[in-house]
Amino acid sequence: MSSPKELWWAARNPPADPQHLDYKDKAVLVTGANSGLGHAAAIKYAALGANPLILAVRSQQKGEEAKANIIRATKCQPDIFVIEILELTTLASVREFADRVNTRVSRLHVVQLAAGISTPGFDKSPDGYEMGLQVNVLSTTLLALLLLPKLRETAAATAPDGFVPHMSFVNSIAHLEIKPEWISDGESLLQRMQNESKFDKRMFMAVFYVFLGRSAEQGSRSMVSATGLGPESHGKFWVNDKYLP
């Protein structure tokens, strides 16, 4: 997790706004498209010509509200939107969502996996996993695997403009802080994540983010620019307009 000093720097040195990118007639799917980073990214994709723009949200109402907000912000046409309901707290919902999307859309150029939660306490999902683990890791990974064939199919088709389809995971630079010794001998990573005694609330960091963090619009710049990179970006971590070493 970034330190207060790093947050202070980041808030004053946001990434460039990728207004030069062209997503005209590109099929773009954004999870968590009704709030935060996902919503800010959806606005940018709409402004840059995405069509269809698939809003993956938890309810039809949230989707309609997000659609209305995006139209107000970009003056885009209302017929570019596809609203699909996605509940990441259960793996069954993820499978149902992927089946609907794979059936409904013939192509998929961008999958922006932006949905996520930060829970103040240790809660379990209906599937029996710690809620953050379920939503941010297990369900998101399953969704990625289920949508990947459609991305590959789109990539294999002729692309006169040379566009490279992308799947992007919104993540944290905090992964650099993980230490192997945090996992006991004989303990799996999944078991470690399910250990309630090791749950760290980090509530004080939430306060720092409110006062020092970037805005959702600034953060979404990295998300949208990441999906406009070339094939050399495969497997890379894109932050502050550069690849993390």
Whole-angstrom CA distances from 203 to 50, 90, 208 are: 37, 26, 9
Pick the CATH number of 17-171+215-237 from 1.10.600.10, 3.40.50.720, 3.40.50.970, 3.40.50.150: 3.40.50.720
pLDDT at 206: 56
Model confidence at 173, pLDDT cuts 50, 70, 90, reads confident
Nearest to 86 by CA among 122, 68, 111: 111
Q: Is the dihedral of CA 121, 126, 130, 134 positive or negative?
A: negative
DSSP secondary structure code for residue 130 in this structure: B
Quote the CA–CA distance of 221 and 186 in Å, as a whole number.
41
Average pLDDT over residues 119-146: 92
The structural domains of the chain, with segments of one domain joined by +, span 17-171+215-237
pLDDT at 185: 79
Q: Does this model's pTM top 0.95?
A: no
- 3-state DSSP assignment of residue 204: helix
Quote the CA–CA distance of 98 and 221 in Å, as a whole number.
26
Nearest to 54 by CA among 118, 103, 116, 20: 103
Q: Is the dihedral of CA 39, 162, 100, 113 positive or negative?
A: negative
From the number of C-beta atoms within 10 Å of its C-beta (0-12, 13-18, 19+), residue 122 rates as middle
pLDDT at 182: 76
pLDDT at 205: 52
- 3-state DSSP assignment of residue 212: helix
pLDDT at 113: 98
Asked if residue 208 has pLDDT above 70, the reply is no
Asked if residue 92 has pLDDT above 70, the reply is yes
> What average pLDDT does the structure give for the chain?
89
The Cα angle at residue 156 between residues 154 and 161, in degrees rounded to 5: 75
Q: Which of 118-127, 151-160, 187-196, 224-233 has the lowest mean pLDDT?
A: 187-196
